[in-house]
Amino acid sequence: MKTMTSLKTLSALAIVSALAMSGVASAATGEVTFQNLNTSTAATYSTVGTMEAATYANAQPKPDTSVPHGASDSYTVINPASTLSNPIHVRYKIGSKQCVFHSSFSGTPNASGQIIPNWTKTYDASGGAICTVTITYTAPFSSFDWKVTFTMK
């Protein structure tokens, strides 16, 4: 019996170690930096819809509701519901200009169980806004964390 218990313990440890090494054991953290490149007006953060509300709920610290011109705001977003996806959806306005930014991590297990990571970045601009999204860091085959910078002018 003692041998069977030891084997079960070793098997459990091996599984936990394999999951940790493959990135499945923890959710990817998205580190967001928003930069307001406008020279005279603050940018306002707001949420519309469930995806933006979920991003706000999962952000720490919470995004500032107003980012002064020439300033930036940083926060992290972790999806507690999944270790294989972390979508980030945020919206900023400067007057009639608006940028809706999107970035995400998704992981797909291959045949051997290894996670194949994918990071995305997009934006929707309106009202003459100039928006950019840059993924500045990714951590493949470990935590899958990433850093993304959203800029607006």
Q: How confident is the model at residue 9 (pLDDT cuts 50, 70, 90)?
A: very low
What is the reported pLDDT for 112?
94
pTM of the model: 0.83
- The CATH number corresponding to 2-152 among 3.40.50, 1.50.10, 2.60.120, 2.60.270 equals 2.60.270
DSSP-derived pairing of the beta strands 29-36 and 72-78: antiparallel
The 10s digit of each residue's pLDDT in 45-54 is: 999 999 999 9
Domain ranges of the chain: 2-152
Distance CA 106, CA 108 (A): 7
The 10s digit of each residue's pLDDT in 59-118 is: 999 999 999 999 999 999 999 999 999 999 999 999 999 999 999 999 999 999 999 999
Alpha-carbon distance values, 66 to 8, 42, 74, 107, 143 (Å): 54, 6, 12, 33, 31
